[in-house]
Amino acid sequence: MGRITSALRKAAEERFERIEKINKIKEHSRLVIKKMGNSKVDPRIITYFDPKALITEQYKIFRTNVLSLNKTNPPKVIVMTSSIHSEGKTITGLNLAVAIAQSTQKPKVLLIDADMRKGSLAKYLGVEQQAGLSEVLQEKTDPDEALFNIDIDNLTFMSCGTVPDNPAELLSSNKMKRLISVFKTQFDHIIIDTPPIVSVADSGIIGAQADGVIMVIQAGRTQRGVVMRATELLQQTHSKVLGYILTNIEYHLPEYIYRYL
């Protein structure tokens, strides 16, 4: 009887040790980001807060993959969209923009919020910027007055501005085409955040003027049929789909990788 009790105790201790080990791995994999100082930038912009974080490295890989699609003529104007709302396209676009700006070549990057219906770029950056793309396209302000920076080298922003009555018409206007042409001479890379393609036509309108479109998909939420429909809508506008990004993915890296890091 004593041997059985001893064996059960030993098994329980080993099980406890395994659980402790798993919990330590989970603690390492949990993303906890604190804002630095008085910064109002959203903590999900991990590339801004921690350039050496594991997730930042993933954005750097994303950056490399996108810019390596055509080594002789890498995409200069990239549109970010999604199938439906709340899939993480703006956060993804922000992290990509910061990652590109952090490249060793120090390229000049411009991020434009072209979601003139529900734009959130300024909110994520923690700034109050009244004049934006809407005012520029309606010729209520000059482009230079709508551009702004925060403490990120080589990275410039333009917010969406106030909600206009005709966002799709403004985006398809010659004024928008000329604006992109001018910015292409001033910046090395331009990232344009747009509304979900299934909801409105804005993404396809801008996508046709860009070098390509990246579609953000939330894992476990967006149905395959919806993604296929979104892709069809982009193709109908002659937009080039560069690729897809999955967000909201949970995974645990092997323990040996944590020991290495």
Average pLDDT over residues 200-221: 93
Structure confidence by residue, pLDDT tens digits, 46-81: 999 998 888 899 999 999 999 898 878 889 999 999
- Mean pLDDT across 154-173: 95
Tell me the pTM.
Answer: 0.81
Q: Are strands 109-113 and 155-158 parallel, antiparallel or unpaired?
A: parallel
Residue with tokens 């049929």: 225
| Range of weakest confidence among 40-49, 129-138, 241-250 | 241-250
The b-or-e profile of 94-126 (16+ CB within 10 A means b, else e) is bbbbbbbbbbeeebebbbbbbbbbebbbbebbe
Both structure tokens of 155: 């990275």
Q: Which helix (H) or strand (E) holds 66?
A: helix 54-67
Note the pLDDT tens digit of each residue in 131-161: 999 999 999 999 999 999 998 999 999 999 9
Distance (Å, whole) CA 239 – CA 211: 8
Predicted confidence (pLDDT) at residue 122 exceeds the cutoff of 90: yes
